[in-house]
Structure 1
Amino acid sequence: MIYNILKDKPTKLFMGITAFFCCNALIAEAIGTKIFSLEKLFGFEPSHFTLFGQKGISISLTCGVLLWPLEFVITDIVNEYFGPKAVRRISFTAIILISYAFLMYYAAIHVPPANFWVGSHSADNIPNMQDAFNGIFGQGMRIIIGSLVAFMVSQLVDVYIFHKIKKVTGDKRIWLRATGSTLVSQLVDSYIVLFIAFGGVFSWQQILAIGVVNYFYKASMAIILTPVIIIAEKKIENYVGHDLAVKMKKAAMGQEQDTFTNIPTAG
């Protein structure tokens, strides 16, 4: 029985996508403590523009946003072939794993450090390794909660918008429903995390300004990554076969009962 399931192509595809989805989310959260300058990345000096009355704003982003757009690409692929129930499953799985990772980070921070380790990198201008470790892995609780809530809500919004568009377009124009749903869900994601993490700390003008900058990047990436969705659709069809791919899409929309191995579908 297990052997037959593991030989089933849709099942193997779902397992592989889920593994990458969760891994990508964990890495994005882990590297999110570093802020980088998008302008400097492309060889330009920070622009320091004014937005909502906030002066000196530049395009500074967390390293985590480099990976988050891939999460929404994967969400749309899963939505297309496995349905909203599968998206909820992989989203909850990712949230559980991220929460577990944060608990382990917290535990690791509070484990007493060895004396020799604390000053072991002083020659590299790191006088206290414990402080450095805390700075990297010790995110604030509001940021953690904001990130997780924003992730879950934006995933649900993405699923809803995706299927609303698909009811109009049918199986055609996957680029439209993928990009359209991502543009809306990324807007939701950008502001939920900011209001939960920094509400009462930053002014609403600051939150709006930061949100616009973040959303500009995310929206740009959603458009840039649109060809990835189209390529992925073709690769999946080649992998599972055209007829099975069509059945998977119909099952994902709840239009027919799947006749292949019991993979997660709409419901």
Structure 2
Amino acid sequence: MIHNIIKDKPTRLFIILGGFFIANALIAEIIGVKLFSLEQTVGITPANFTLLGESGLGFTLTVGVLPWPVVFIMTDIINEYYGVKGVRFLSIITACLIAFAFLVFYLAIHTHPDDFWKGSQAKNGVPDMQAAYTQILGQGMNIIVASLTAFLIGQLTDALVFKKIKLITGEKSIWMRATVSTLFSQLVDTVVVSYMYLYFSLHFSFARVTAIAITGYSYKFIVAILCTPLIYLVHIFIEKYLGKDTAAKMKEAALKSS
């Protein structure tokens, strides 16, 4: 039976798409505790603007945004061929796996460190490996509730908006349903995770959190538009892989699913 499952092209495609979806979401959660300066990264002077009375602000982003373009594309492609149920199924599995990962991190942090390992990287500027390990992986514990809440709400918003637009446009305007659904979902995701994590958990100032949310959403807005050609390319590849008849039947069934 397993051979039949693996040989079935729609099933194999779902596994591949789901694998990339889950892997990138999990990676984004793990690395997302770092904030970086977009201006300095690309080699330009920080913007240094003032917002809501707080000065010295710039285009600050979480590195968790780096793998998210893949999640954007996977979400829309899965929605196109497997419907809202497919996106919901993978989103719930992903949330459970993220929670499991953080549970493992928690257990790993609380094991007693080997004395040699603890000071083994002092010459590289890390005098206490246990403290560094705890700070990087343990800091993610504070974000888990915010990120999982934002992730689930954002993904379900994306799926529902995508379906509503497709019901109106039919097979036309792939760019519209892909881009608009992403812009809606990422607005929700950015606002929820920014204020729940940075404001309520880390106690950043309201102005700084607002600046980070605005710049983060602006980045996602631009990326969503730039990813549009990639979505068309993935569609072409899938149509060739599945065959036009199978692809058409899958899209019709996906649209009819609740």
Instruction: Quote the Cα distance in structure 1 between the aligned partners of 2:57 and 2:40.
Output: 14
How many percent of aligned residue pairs carry the same amino acid? 50
Instruction: Quote the Cα distance in structure 2 between the aligned partners of 1:51 and 1:170.
Output: 42
Q: Which runs of 4+ in 1 moved over 4 A?
A: none
Instruction: Quote the Cα distance in structure 1 between the aligned partners of 2:110 and 2:243.
Output: 52
Cross-structure match for 2:230 = 228
Q: How does 1:46-195 map to 2 (within 5 A)?
A: 46-139=46-139, 141-195=141-195
What's the TM-score once normalised by structure 1's chain length?
A: 0.92
Classify the secondary structure of the residue corresponding to 1:22: helix
Gaps of at least 5 residues in structure 1 are: 255-265
Instruction: Quote the Cα distance in structure 1 between the aligned partners of 2:52 and 2:207.
Output: 6
Q: Per-residue displacement from partner, 1:110-164 (whole Å, max 9, x unpaired)?
A: 1000111111111111111101111110125442110000000000110111011
Which range moved further: 78-87 or 25-34? 25-34
Check whether the contact 2:61–2:216 (CA below 8 A) recurs between aligned residues.
yes
AA aligned to 1:158 is: D
Instruction: Quote the Cα distance in structure 2 between the aligned partners of 1:199 and 1:44.
Output: 28
Classify the secondary structure of the residue corresponding to 1:50: strand
Classify the secondary structure of the residue corresponding to 2:133: helix
Check whether the contact 1:73–1:229 (CA below 8 A) recurs between aligned residues.
yes
Classify the secondary structure of the residue corresponding to 1:55: strand
Instruction: Quote the Cα distance in structure 2 between the aligned partners of 1:247 and 1:224.
Output: 29
Q: Per-residue displacement from partner, 1:221-267 (whole Å, max 9, x unpaired)?
A: 1111111111111000010011111111000011xxxxxxxxxxx23
Instruction: Quote the Cα distance in structure 1 between the aligned partners of 2:212 and 2:22.
Output: 27
* Shift in Å, 1:203: 4.5
Instruction: Quote the Cα distance in structure 1 between the aligned partners of 2:205 and 2:40.
Output: 27
Cross-structure match for 2:2 = 2
Instruction: Quote the Cα distance in structure 2 between the aligned partners of 1:198 and 1:35.
Output: 11
Check whether the contact 2:61–2:212 (CA below 8 A) recurs between aligned residues.
no
What's the TM-score once normalised by structure 2's chain length?
A: 0.95
Instruction: Quote the Cα distance in structure 2 between the aligned partners of 1:45 and 1:118.
Output: 38
Check whether the contact 2:20–2:70 (CA below 8 A) recurs between aligned residues.
no
Cross-structure match for 2:211 = 209
Check whether the contact 2:186–2:217 (CA below 8 A) recurs between aligned residues.
yes
Q: How many residues align?
A: 256
Instruction: Quote the Cα distance in structure 2 between the aligned partners of 1:32 and 1:187.
Output: 17
CA RMSD of aligned residues (A): 1.4
Cross-structure match for 1:250 = 252
Check whether the contact 1:175–1:226 (CA below 8 A) recurs between aligned residues.
yes
Q: Per-residue displacement from partner, 1:55-87 (whole Å, max 9, x unpaired)?
A: 111112111111123212211100000000010
AA aligned to 2:170 is: G
Which range moved further: 203-212 or 238-247? 203-212
Instruction: Quote the Cα distance in structure 2 between the aligned partners of 1:98 and 1:117.
Output: 27
Classify the secondary structure of the residue corresponding to 1:123: helix
- Relative to 1, partners in 2 of residues 1:128 and 1:199: Cα closer, same or farther, differing over 3 Å? closer
More helix by share: 2
* Shift in Å, 1:4: 1.4
